[in-house]
Amino acid sequence: MFTSFLDESEVLFEFEPLNPEALPLSSEQINQSLDYCRSILDDRKQWQTYLNSLALFGFQNWLEQRSSELIFNLEHPSVEKPELAYFIEAVCNLAVNQFKICLVALGNSITDTISLPRAIFQLPEYRAHYYILIEVQEELETTSIYGFISYSDFQAHKTQIDLEPKADWTYSVPLSWFNTEPDQFLLFVRCLEVSAIPLPEIPNPAILLSQIREELISKLSQLQSSEPGIVPELWQILTWEQGKILFSYPELLRWIYEVQNQAILSAQPISPSHQNPIVYLTDLFNLLTQPTLNLAGWFNQELDTLSTALSWVFIPDFSPETALRDGTEISSLVKQLQENGVEISPQAKGAYRDLGLGGRSLRLYALTWPLEWEIEPEWTLLLILGLPTGTDLPVGVKLRVSDATGILVEQDSNREDQCSYLFTRVVGTCQEKFVVTVSLREDITETLPPFEFSFN
């Protein structure tokens, strides 16, 4: 039976006059919003991302209509990155006249509080001077500004009533805290200096990631879907302290996102990390926490201290031409490679390192040289894994290279195809790092500190 709360004469109040301030969304804006939420599988998060994206465009329309003189930057909203949209249900990374802005959509269903993620108040990357609620009328394709609150006002209210975050890493914020005069928001961003709303310093958690590495790896592996369609939420597995660290590393968020959405965000055509996410996770942690070996140092004719400390042995005067004549192991390897059509630049520098795996001694050669580039400088790393003796590799040896987006390549010596060495070549920009892992079986592995090629 119907439980009717209002008597029938009041039912007509459900009709509302259209808000004269509401602005229409264009079909391009709607399509762009659909694109932003397309790859998110979870239907609740997908819908919220869709509404949040519409809110972003609504905000843009409002600013454009109200003020040609405001300088606003909405170029790279967080909804552009599915992993951010998925874990932080708000739109961050926006600015108006130097003020950082964060937006959240209000749909057709409003209670007296709104649920806002902790991350947008407690992490420097996502925190804002102003938090703005945008009403989205999805089926009318219009939006209007509901209200706003500054960071300092939020903190003051929060202290006053001792508002505690909930277990799911959100605050239940009363709508009555928000100033519902959007014109006053414009007044503030037009006339205030940014310093009027101080954002206190937050310590950098970088040290902590390496400290809790093992614990985090085991916890993150629990974030994989246990049964189809059911994925655990971050807050069900991690403490908030661990969560904070995670939010500071978008690469880790991206990994969880890929695992939970069975999506691949990187442009790599084949990403084995997809089949073996946990293996890749250890690579990723190495990339994020290990000291990095800068190969640009090898061009100073001597190994830098780090390379030496890491047992790299420099091959003096190495060049493909001389290498071919001096009869060393590397020379014959280079010769074989060149016969197989692998080009090696005359500028290449090289070094090798001996690895002991399960009582076996293996030798890894690394050759590097800068490449011709058009947009930004690029470099290449050629890796060759063999035995110091030059004999055939034992069966089951694997060579794996990963970067911040996933596993790039995994070579192994199998039974049918006896070979004396494995080799692979990767190309990167000066901002990219590679991490190399050699393994004999699943349990006997050695990961080398990441490589980069930086002129800084």
Partner 1 sequence: MSKASKYWTLVKLESSGRQKRSEIAAAKAFFEMAFPEFLGEADVPDVPIQKQLVQWLRDANSQGNNINSQNAECCLLCFISWEIEQVCLQLAQQFGTYHGFRGQDLFPFVLDEEGINRQRHLGQTKTPYQSFAREILQTFDPQQSSLATWTNRRVKFNSEINKFLLEHGVYLVSDWAILNDTHPQQLEKILTQFYQLTSLEVEQRLQLLACYHSVYRSQRLQQRQAGARKRCQPPTAQQYQQIAQRLETLIQQRISPKAVAWKLQNLATLLRQYRTYIRGGKLPNQSLIFVDDSDSIIEQIPSPEPIENDEEDIKKQEFLNWYEKQFLMCLHSSIAQVLETGLTTCQKRDGAKAEQFLTALYLFHCQGQSMSEIAATLGLKAQYQVTRLLKLKAFRADVRHHLLFQLRDRILEYTKPEHPSQELEQWEKQIELALDGELETLFKQAESDSYIAQNRPLNSPFFKGVCYYLDLREKSPNLIQSMISLLSKNSRRSY
Site for partner 1 in 60-89 (CB under 8 A): 65-69
Q: Does 171 bind partner 1 (CB under 8 A)?
A: no
Sign of the Cα pseudo-torsion (94, 98, 100, 106, in order): negative
Of residues 113 and 239, the one with the C-beta less far from partner 1:
113
Position among 183, 339, 376, 417 found at the interface with partner 1 (CB under 8 A): 183
Q: Does 230 bind partner 1 (CB under 8 A)?
A: no
Continuous segment of H or E residues that includes residue 337? helix 329-339
How far apart CA 387 and CA 228 sit, in angstroms, is: 44
The nearest distance, CB 329 to partner 1, in angstroms, is 58
The nearest distance, CB 166 to partner 1, in angstroms, is 9
The nearest distance, CB 4 to partner 1, in angstroms, is 7
Position among 59, 87, 177, 318 found at the interface with partner 1 (CB under 8 A): 177
Q: Does 174 bind partner 1 (CB under 8 A)?
A: yes
Total number of residues binding partner 1 (CB under 8 A)? 74
Of residues 160 and 391, the one with the C-beta less far from partner 1:
160
Q: Does 190 bind partner 1 (CB under 8 A)?
A: yes
Sign of the Cα pseudo-torsion (363, 367, 368, 371, in order): negative
Q: Does 28 bind partner 1 (CB under 8 A)?
A: no
Phi/psi region, residue 98 (left: phi>0; alpha: psi -120 to 50; beta: rest), is: left
Q: Does 52 bind partner 1 (CB under 8 A)?
A: no
Q: Could you count the other beta carbons within 10 Å of the beta carbon of residue 201?
A: 7
Bridge partner residues of 407 (DSSP): 402
The nearest distance, CB 261 to partner 1, in angstroms, is 14
Q: Which two tokens stand for residue 185?
A: 């928001």
Position among 9, 305, 391, 456 found at the interface with partner 1 (CB under 8 A): 9
Q: Does 227 bind partner 1 (CB under 8 A)?
A: no
Bridge partner residues of 271 (DSSP): none
Q: Does 141 bind partner 1 (CB under 8 A)?
A: yes
Using CB under 8 A as the binding rule, the residues of this chain from 350 to 409 that contact partner 1 are none
Binding piece for partner 1, criterion CB under 8 A, among 13-21, 265-273, 294-302, 435-443: 13-21
Using CB under 8 A as the binding rule, the residues of this chain from 111 to 140 that contact partner 1 are 111-113, 115, 137-140
How far apart CA 127 and CA 245 sit, in angstroms, is: 15
Position among 94, 116, 186, 364 found at the interface with partner 1 (CB under 8 A): 186
The nearest distance, CB 241 to partner 1, in angstroms, is 24
How far apart CA 121 and CA 171 sit, in angstroms, is: 10
Q: Does 34 bind partner 1 (CB under 8 A)?
A: yes
Give the DSSP per-residue string, 94-116: EEETTEEEEEEEE-S---SEEEE
Q: Where are the beta strands (DSSP E) in 249-389?
A: 293-294, 313-314, 349-357, 360-371, 378-386
Q: Does 187 bind partner 1 (CB under 8 A)?
A: yes
Q: Does 262 bind partner 1 (CB under 8 A)?
A: no
Q: Does 167 bind partner 1 (CB under 8 A)?
A: no
Start-to-end C-alpha separation, the chain: 73
Position among 36, 37, 307, 387 found at the interface with partner 1 (CB under 8 A): 37
Of residues 30 and 306, the one with the C-beta less far from partner 1:
30
Position among 36, 51, 58, 116 found at the interface with partner 1 (CB under 8 A): 51
The nearest distance, CB 259 to partner 1, in angstroms, is 21
Q: Does 442 bind partner 1 (CB under 8 A)?
A: no
Q: Which two tokens stand for residue 273?
A: 């990390």
Q: Does 104 bind partner 1 (CB under 8 A)?
A: no
Position among 143, 150, 273, 413 found at the interface with partner 1 (CB under 8 A): 150
Using CB under 8 A as the binding rule, the residues of this chain from 196 to 215 that contact partner 1 are 196-197
The nearest distance, CB 237 to partner 1, in angstroms, is 20
Q: Does 159 bind partner 1 (CB under 8 A)?
A: no
Q: Does 107 bind partner 1 (CB under 8 A)?
A: yes
Residue 206's contacts (CB-CB under 8 Å, 6 or more residues apart) are 248
Report H helices in 169-325: 182-191, 206-211, 213-221, 234-237, 240-247, 250-261, 277-289, 305-309, 320-325
272-280, long-range: CB < 8 A, 24+ apart: 272/406, 272/407, 272/410, 273/402, 273/406, 273/407, 274/406, 276/407, 277/224, 278/217, 278/221, 279/400, 279/407, 280/255, 280/402, 280/406, 280/407
Q: Does 311 bind partner 1 (CB under 8 A)?
A: no
How far apart CA 58 and CA 23 sit, in angstroms, is: 7
